[in-house]
Every structure is written in structure tokens, then in C-alpha cells.
Amino acid sequence: MTAQLWCFGESGNAYKAALTMELAGHHWAPVYVDFFNGEARSPAFRALNPMGEVPVFREDGLTLTQSAVIQLHVAERTGRFMGSDRNETLRWLMFDNHRLSGQAGPARFLLNFLPAGKRPAGAAEYLQGRLKAAYKVLDDHLSTRDWIADSAPTIADFACCGYLFYPEPFGFDRKDWPHIDRWLDAISALPGWKHPYDLMPGNPSDRAPKEDA
């Protein structure tokens, strides 16, 4: 059976799950969530995921939420991209969640998808300061190795890159981080790789920003 993934193009968190399935050869189909018109906060979506977030994965009666949980499930089911040390892979998933994507997603949202007048003062600058420390950890880590958690790509790579291919500016410039830059090139050279806007439905050209989220 084909897995379903509730997602939308702008979501780096959904991208992590979609990219993992795509590269692992796990058959899946997207279910578009109209986030920018509030669908993720609707009662129907909250019934699917009370956390009010994409991605949501469903297959054969199993429903999973949180990108890392979906990534781990797909890696275990397909036998691909777990890496040789699950703890090492897992710790970078956690790092990504609270220090990298957990700040990059909100920073990008504030700076690109909210009208300037609705941006909470100082928030994006604060997030960018924290992000700089996270980029430095990752860039230093990649200065001596090709991939984050093993000698080959793992779901940790597909997590940490979640927001780093998007074109909207949020303070991340590949030129500032040469090892991250090289590693992103290596990810996008993997067979089957797709940019988030090519992998999932919906992108900024579809609409104007309408709602805080």
C-alpha cells in the first residue's frame, strides 16, 4: 500500500519525511494541507494530529506524526539510512529538532510568510542569533566528514537539511558555511533527490500570505 503524507511545500519538517521516503524508495503520495488558510488548526486536522502540525504519515492503519518519528519508521522498514549507530543518528535528529530546524522554520516563517507589520519585534533576530551557533556546530562537524552520522547518508542528513534548500531568505547563506555548502551539494546529488517545491504540493507562488500561524 502507498503511504500518505499530509504536507505542503513550504514545510521543511514535512520535507524531511518526504525526502526520506523518496530516497529510500518507500512509495508515498502527498495529501496537501492548506496551512496558509489555517487548515492545520482546523478541527478536522486536529482530529488527525492534535499537535496541529505537518507532517502526518498514514499507512495500513498506522498514523505517525513528528518528522523524526516518520523518518525512523521508514528507515527501519526499508533498512535504509539508519546508519551503523542508531544513537548517533538519533542525537543529530534531536539536535536538528531543537536547535536547527526548530529555529530555522520559525525564523523563515516570520521573515517571509508574515506581513512585516505582524512580525513580533525582535523574534527573528533572536532566532537568527541562536541559529548561527547551530550552523557553526554543524559546519565544524562536517569539516572532517562527508555525512553527519555515518560514512554514508542517514536520516540525520535528511533532517538537518530540512530548511536549508529553500530560496526564501532567513539569514542562512551557504557561502558563510563552506562545509555545509559542500554537504548540501552532496545531498542534492543523491539519485532521486528533489527540491522541496518539486517534491511536495504548494509553494509561495500559489498565494499571498493571509494568516499568522
Residues that bind a second copy (CB under 8 A): 50-52, 64-69, 72-73, 87, 90-91, 94-95, 97-99, 101-102, 106, 120-123, 125-126, 129-130, 133, 137, 140-141
Q: Which is nearer to a second copy, 94 or 152 (CB)?
A: 94
* C-alpha separations of 145 from 23, 24, 56, 142 in Å: 21, 22, 32, 5
Ranges of H-type helices in the chain: 12-24, 43-48, 67-78, 86-95, 101-112, 123-142, 155-160, 178-188, 196-199
Task: Write the DSSP symbol of residue 119.
Answer: S
Smallest gap from Cβ 72 to a second copy, in A, equals 7
How long a stretch of residues is the chain?
213
Residue type, 2: T
Q: Which is nearer to a second copy, 141 or 194 (CB)?
A: 141
Smallest gap from Cβ 121 to a second copy, in A, equals 4
Compute the distance between CA of residue 49 and CA of residue 170 in angstroms, rounded to an integer.
28
Smallest gap from Cβ 206 to a second copy, in A, equals 25
Smallest gap from Cβ 198 to a second copy, in A, equals 26
Q: Which is nearer to a second copy, 151 or 188 (CB)?
A: 151
Classify residue 10 by burial, with Cβ atoms within 10 Å: 0-12, 13-18, 19+. Answer: buried
Smallest gap from Cβ 205 to a second copy, in A, equals 28
Q: Which is nearer to a second copy, 91 or 195 (CB)?
A: 91
Q: Which is nearer to a second copy, 58 or 194 (CB)?
A: 58
Instruction: Please provide residue 62's backbone torsions phi and psi, each rounded to the nearest 5 degrees.
Output: -95, 125
